[in-house]
Amino acid sequence: MVIDLKRCIGCYGCQLSCKAEHGTPPGVFFARLLKQEEGHYPTVRQLFLPVLCFHCDDPPCVEVCPTEASFKWPDGIVDIDSEKCVGCRACMMACPYIQRYFYDEERYYFSGNGATPYERVRSQRHETGVVMKCNFCRDRVMAGKEPACVANCPTVARYFGDLDNPTSEVSRLIKERGGYTLHPEIGTGPAVYYLPP
């Protein structure tokens, strides 16, 4: 994935579409938007940094998982098998990007303990006592669609494609615009690149 920081306007479209797609509980954001101000009056500007699981080439979360619940698909997507997860949270401690969440108990957006149809559907999708994270909307990708955050970005600031293909749009953008990853010094090889603002 490539995220163009010049195009990102901090609208939270990625975060909201991700929540709608996955039905994540309160406080769980597979896609987050970090904001920061820089400069001094009168030349102040806001910077936006969308973050999600970076689907690393060498994911430390997979290495430390004692039950092999955290794993990497052949296409490079890092995922969690909720049936194997025992909730030890070793993967959360190993993730240098803080992109995993432990779902300890049912939490609802609305009062009435899940009385709304949305709450009933969501509670059936996620098991308690396990870790959860972004999986690049793997079901959508396997169906030939883009991840929800990419498909719903109103400024087309997100691009999804094959980083291993040098002729793909994402590879071209990284090369032409000087794409970079967050914290390359860690050595995990993130698969999410940023284009400078």
The tens digit of pLDDT for each residue in 28-64 reads: 999 999 999 989 999 998 999 999 999 999 999 999 9
The length of the chain is 197
For the chain, give the mean pLDDT. 91
Report H helices in the chain.
13-22, 60-64, 90-94, 117-125, 138-142, 148-151, 169-177
Q: pLDDT tens digits for 115-165? A: 566 666 665 567 889 999 999 999 999 999 999 999 999 999 999 999 999
Q: How confident is the model at residue 173 (pLDDT cuts 50, 70, 90)?
A: very high
Domain residue limits, the chain: 2-195
Compute the distance between CA of residue 144 and CA of residue 151 in angstroms, rounded to an integer.
Answer: 12
pTM over 0.85? The answer is yes
pLDDT number for residue 121: 62
Considering the segment(s) 2-195 as one domain, its CATH architecture is: 2-Layer Sandwich (3.30)
Q: Which of 22, 37, 28 is closest to 136 using CA atoms?
A: 22
